[in-house]
Structure 1
């Protein structure tokens, strides 16, 4: 069992929390985009509050531990590792309840190159505990806006985790990076159309949890300090748990988090 102290030390050493690589100017740009209701930043969430940039900065300081100083406009920023640990505990508790109740679970990630292993391990443990891991709309095409215009992607499941892949790509890698809520909307719509099982819990990041939460499904997941939509969704009750951490470090750096969460959720093999 990884102790809280050892987990905290790992978070800081791996720069998952503490001083993180996400630039302050990038985070502030995201906050301004969300305040302007840029869909690239709202991630499928239709916020109830006004959420100006000042309110967003205060929220992110509270939930993530970023600097609350509006005069801090560039350079490094921070994520409070104590915020990360507390959120991981809440995340594990919710996973444990899902496993105990054997609810159907849908998992998806917009960061497959970094986070697929984390979510796939959760999927395997939940399945072993008796949860149905849902894979609706497998292979369905989704037209998604990108920086190069609208591109057709297909919805796939790798290790029980939803990812998207460009239809006109070479098929290499686990999937494409995306913030879009369209994949989870397609998955949930397919489940409804087919009269299938609907998830009792959605686990993931970016548009997968904001999009699901907006539609009324309970959602939990991970979010970086430049993903204000996830923390707004948590503050407004559309996402149950948002775990603040850097979501772009090496994939193997998330393995201690996986072990910690599975142990806390009583899902360790």
Structure 2
């Protein structure tokens, strides 16, 4: 890969790109989602069934500690932050998990609710793990289902188009005809839903296969997997309290605090850093 990436260079990149530091996610948005989580709003639970009560005050304290948002309960609007040191710490924990999975040649399932932003990163992880001897699991390819969204029920499809097999939700057709459905599958879509990973894991079970040794993803992909007892690790923004609660409660192995809505090239250096530490650089 060339010259080794240092932690200092990673921190500098996180701050320059605003993957961490002064991030674009507003304080109002963060606090609104913490309040919704405290009310057990399904749209922000990501499939998690929290073990604790999690009041708004407890969530703010947790997010300050695990993500680096301001702990000041009187700070109600404007800028909020992600601590780049916490991001670096979590990326290093993720590298450890990937290294252990690669050493064991484990089965890996990759899925993302942020296909327009994070797909290249997951694709790089998948290629490196496959090169190390891991089996990439791609269950339920071509599955069609009705997804419950904030806008109401929507037809969706579960599939992948990249060779390594990062599962993504696509805008689905109205038709139930499989041939017609495959021809008319729409664009990848953003989702927080745990339905996709539940469908994927159920397909593995129905075919008599074992669950993956690791699910890598975000949003409902890792919270949904963790809730079902499948080891999971991935990424979350400062307005995604469910992922950090899941890690705090031991349902998710690693949650990396990072702005998950930036240009795909912004994630190239953090990806390389993780693969370098995991001994998986190609």
Tell me the TM-score normalized by structure 2: 0.93
Residue 165 of structure 1: which of 163, 166, 170 is its match? 170
- Paired position in structure 1 for 2:138: 135
- Paired position in structure 2 for 1:156: 159
CA distance in 2: counterparts of 1:141 and 1:265, whole angstroms = 36
- Paired position in structure 1 for 2:129: 126
Number of aligned pairs? 268
- Paired position in structure 2 for 1:255: 268
- Paired position in structure 2 for 1:213: 226
Q: Is the 8 A contact 2:158 2:170 kept in 1?
A: yes
Q: Does 1:187 align with 2:192?
A: no
Q: Is the 8 A contact 2:45 2:242 kept in 1?
A: yes
CA distance in 2: counterparts of 1:181 and 1:116, whole angstroms = 18
Q: Is the 8 A contact 2:173 2:186 kept in 1?
A: no
Q: Is the 8 A contact 1:95 1:265 kept in 2?
A: yes
- Paired position in structure 1 for 2:211: 198
Residue 258 of structure 2: which of 245, 251, 258 is its match? 245
Q: Is the 8 A contact 1:120 1:158 kept in 2?
A: no
* Superposition deviation, residue 192 in structure 1: 0.1
* Superposition deviation, residue 197 in structure 1: 3.5
Alignment of 1:98-109 (within 5 A): 98-109=101-112
Which string of whole-angstrom CA distances, capped at 9 and with x for unpartnered residues, describes residues 129-157 of structure 1? Answer: 00000000001112112233100101012
* Superposition deviation, residue 188 in structure 1: 0.2
Q: Is the 8 A contact 2:171 2:186 kept in 1?
A: no
Alignment of 1:18-167 (within 5 A): 18-159=21-162, 160-167=165-172
- Paired position in structure 1 for 2:20: 17
Which string of whole-angstrom CA distances, capped at 9 and with x for unpartnered residues, describes residues 171-228 of structure 1? Answer: 554x100000000000000000011232001100000000000000010000000000
CA distance in 1: counterparts of 2:147 and 2:85, whole angstroms = 36
Tell me the TM-score normalized by structure 1: 0.98
Name structure 1 gaps, 5 residues minimum: none
Look at both structures and tell me which one has the larger radius of gyration over its CA atoms: 2
